[in-house]
C-alpha cells in the first residue's frame, strides 16, 4: 500500500458516510462524498484542504480552483465560494482532510524559521493551490492515524499539526502562509476588512469604513482587496448577501421579497437581478429547483437542508 492509499484507507474508515465529520483532532474535519455534487455556496475560513481521493472545485468570482491528491488548497482569508465535488463515485469516493489554520501557531513558526528578507509582493490570492509533497503527506497520514489510537491524540496531535504548518511555511506556497503569520501584512489587513464586511453586509457597508478597518486609502484598499478575493468590495458584499438569501430561502422557506429585505435590499427587483446574476436564475425558481435536486421524491415539501 502506497502512502496515498494509506491516507485513503484512514479517511475512509473514519468518515464512513457522506458528509463532513468532526474529529477529536483539534481543528480537523474529514469529508466524504460518494458522487459529484452540485455547486453550493459556502464560506471558506482560513484552512488547508488536502485531498486523498477525487477532485473538488472552488469557484471564487470568475476563477475556478481544482484540487486533488496532487494539489492541496489553502484558503488564507474568509471567502464566499461556490464549491462542488467534480470527481467521486461509490467505489472511489471523494475523501478530504480539512485543517483549520492557526495564525498564532503560524506566527510562532515564522519567527523561529524566518524566510530570507525580501520586499512583500502584491497581495496574494485568497485561495492558492500547491503541489502535495511527500513530507506533507507523511504528516497528514500520521495525524489521521491518531484516530486509531485516541489515547495518543492529546500528546501527539499538536506536534503533528505543528509539523504540517511547518511544511506549509517552508514549501513552495510559503509566501501566502508567511503573510498570514504577519499581523500587519497586506493580507491580514484585508482579512480584518473581510471580517468587518461579513459583520455588516446587511447594512450600507460603506467602502470607506472597510478601508479604514484595513488602514488603507480607498484606492489602495480596492486594489489589494480584489487581488485577494478576485472581487471588488461591493461584489464581495453582494456574494455574502446572496449566500445568506439562499440559506433563508432554503432553510426558513421565506419568500424572495422577504429574503431580499433581510439581507439588505430595499428593491425586490434589484435583489432578483443580483440573485439571477450569481446563481443563474431568479431566487424562487432556484430555491424550488434546488429542493427538487436534494429531495427528488418529495418535490413540494420544504425542509431545512
Distance CA 191, CA 64 (A): 21
pLDDT at 296: 40
As a dihedral over the C-alpha atoms of residue 211, residue 217, residue 222, residue 224, rounded to 10 degrees, the angle is -100
Distance CA 131, CA 172 (A): 8
The maximal CA–CA distance of the chain, rounded, in angstroms, is 61
pLDDT tens by residue, 288-304: 887 776 544 333 333 32
pLDDT at 302: 30
Q: Considering Cα of 141, then 178, then 214, then 242, what sign does the dihedral take? A: negative
Confidence of residue 176 (pLDDT cuts 50, 70, 90): confident
Mean pLDDT of 3-7: 96
Question: Burial code of 111-135, b = ≥16 C-beta within 10 A, e = fewer?
Answer: eeeeeeeeeeeebbbbbbbbebeee
Angle at 64 between CA 47 and CA 41, to 5 degrees: 65
Distance CA 106, CA 179 (A): 10
Q: Mapping DSSP to helix (H, G, I), strand (E, B) and coil, where does residue 249 land?
A: helix
Distance CA 187, CA 204 (A): 24
CB 72 within 8 A of CB 129: yes
Mean pLDDT of 203-226: 93
Residue 123 pLDDT exceeds 60: no
Q: Burial of 226 by CB count in 10 Å (0-12 exposed, 13-18 middle, 19+ buried)?
A: middle
Per the structure block, which three cell numbers stand in for 19? 458528509
**Which of 39-48, 88-97, 233-242, 292-301 has the weakest average pLDDT?**
292-301
pLDDT tens by residue, 125-168: 789 999 999 999 999 999 999 999 999 999 999 999 999 999 99
Per the structure block, which three cell numbers stand in for 78? 474568509
Per the structure block, which three cell numbers stand in for 49? 484542504
Nearest to 196 by CA among 283, 293, 23, 78: 78
pLDDT at 174: 80
Residue 30 pLDDT exceeds 70: yes
Dihedral pair phi/psi, residue 20, rounded to 5°: -100, 125
Q: What length is written for the chain?
A: 305
Q: What is the percent of the chain with per-residue pLDDT over 90, rounded to a whole number? A: 68
Residue 29 pLDDT exceeds 70: yes
Render 71-105 in DSSP notation, one character per residue.
EEEEE-S-EEEEEEEEE--SSS-EEEEEEE--HHH
What is the pLDDT of the chain when averaged over all its residues? Answer: 89
Amino acid at each position: 500500500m502506497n502512502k496515498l492509499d494509506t491516507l485513503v484507507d484512514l479517511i475512509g474508515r473514519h468518515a464512513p458516510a457522506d458528509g463532513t465529520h468532526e474529529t477529536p483532532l483539534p481543528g480537523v474535519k474529514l469529508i466524504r462524498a460518494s458522487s459529484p455534487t452540485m455547486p453550493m455556496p459556502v464560506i471558506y475560513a482560513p484552512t488547508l484542504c488536502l485531498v486523498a481521493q477525487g477532485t473538488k472545485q472552488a469557484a471564487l468570482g470568475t476563477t475556478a480552483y481544482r484540487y486533488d491528491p496532487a494539489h492541496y488548497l489553502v484558503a488564507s482569508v474568509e471567502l464566499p465560494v461556490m464549491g462542488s465535488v467534480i470527481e467521486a463515485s461509490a467505489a472511489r469516493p471523494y475523501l478530504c482532510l480539512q485543517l483549520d489554520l492557526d495564525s498564532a501557531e503560524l506566527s510562532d513558526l515564522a519567527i523561529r524559521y524566518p524566510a530570507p528578507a525580501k520586499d512583500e509582493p502584491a497581495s496574494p490570492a485568497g485561495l492558492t493551490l500547491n503541489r502535495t509533497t511527500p513530507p506533507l503527506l507523511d504528516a497528514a497520514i500520521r495525524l489521521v492515524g491518531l484516530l486509531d489510537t485516541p489515547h495518543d491524540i492529546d500528546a501527539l496531535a499538536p506536534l503533528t499539526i505543528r509539523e504540517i504548518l511547518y511544511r506549509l511555511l517552508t514549501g513552495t506556497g510559503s509566501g501566502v502562509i508567511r503573510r498570514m503569520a504577519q499581523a500587519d501584512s497586506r493580507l491580514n489587513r484585508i482579512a480584518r476588512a473581510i471580517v468587518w464586511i461579513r459583520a455588516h453586509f446587511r447594512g450600507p457597508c460603506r467602502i470607506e469604513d472597510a478601508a479604514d478597518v484595513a488602514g488603507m486609502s480607498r484606492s489602495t484598499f480596492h486594489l489589494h482587496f480584489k487581488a485577494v478575493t478576485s472581487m471588488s468590495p461591493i461584489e464581495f458584499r453582494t456574494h455574502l448577501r446572496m449566500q445568506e438569501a439562499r440559506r433563508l430561502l432554503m432553510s426558513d422557506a421565506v419568500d424572495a421579497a422577504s429574503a431580499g429585505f433581510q439581507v439588505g435590499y430595499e428593491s425586490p427587483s434589484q435583489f432578483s437581478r443580483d440573485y439571477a446574476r450569481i446563481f443563474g436564475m431568479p431566487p424562487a425558481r432556484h430555491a424550488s429547483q434546488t429542493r427538487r435536486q436534494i429531495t427528488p421524491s418529495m418535490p413540494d415539501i420544504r425542509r431545512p437542508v
